[in-house]
Amino acid sequence: DQQVKQNSPSLSVQEGRISILNCDYTNSMFDYFLWYKKYPAEGPTFLISISSIKDKNEDGRFTVFLNKSAKHLSLHIVPSQPGDSAVYFCAVDKTGTASKLTFGTGTRLQVTL
């Protein structure tokens, strides 16, 4: 069962523009949401997170938005840079115990010059 969905397998954005990556989830009881970035042949790197009591969290060029009524999560990267080219995974903590993350299938972001 696909409880966390990233429906866009790939996204291409011009350098300097905004990148918007989307994630949908099925269970309104999910408590904590995270975004990870992954380069080829490396492990995922934590980017930013948000708890269910908030609707926005910002860290530098990265902002995560949470729309609980729509069960939708998005990551905004502004401005996009070539080094942002990677696969981005959203993940949820289903149990609220930070012990088991459920990942989406990822979106490959390509930032072009």
Partner 1 sequence: NAGVMQNPRHLVRRRGQEARLRCSPMKGHSHVYWYRQLPEEGLKFMVYLQKENIIDESGMPKERFSAEFPKEGPSILRIQQVVRGDSAAYFCASSSEQGWSGTDTQYFGPGTRLTVL
Binding site for partner 1 (CB under 8 A): 4, 6, 32, 34, 36, 41-46, 49, 51, 89, 91, 93, 97-106
**DSSP symbol at 101:** E
CB of 73 to partner 1, least distance (A): 14
> How far is CA 54 from its chain centroid?
15
d(CA 38, CA 10): 14
Question: In this complex, which beta carbon is closest to partner 1, that of residue 43 or of residue 83?
Answer: 43
Give which of 22, 12, 23, 21 is closest to 82, Cα–Cα: 12
CB of 43 to partner 1, least distance (A): 3
Question: In this complex, which beta carbon is closest to partner 1, that of residue 38 or of residue 76?
Answer: 38
Question: In this complex, which beta carbon is closest to partner 1, that of residue 5 or of residue 79?
Answer: 5
- Which pair of tokens denotes residue 66? 């949470």
CB of 37 to partner 1, least distance (A): 11
CB of 46 to partner 1, least distance (A): 5
Question: In this complex, which beta carbon is closest to partner 1, that of residue 15 or of residue 48?
Answer: 48
Give which of 69, 21, 26, 30 is closest to 48, Cα–Cα: 21
Tokens 């972001």 belong to 109
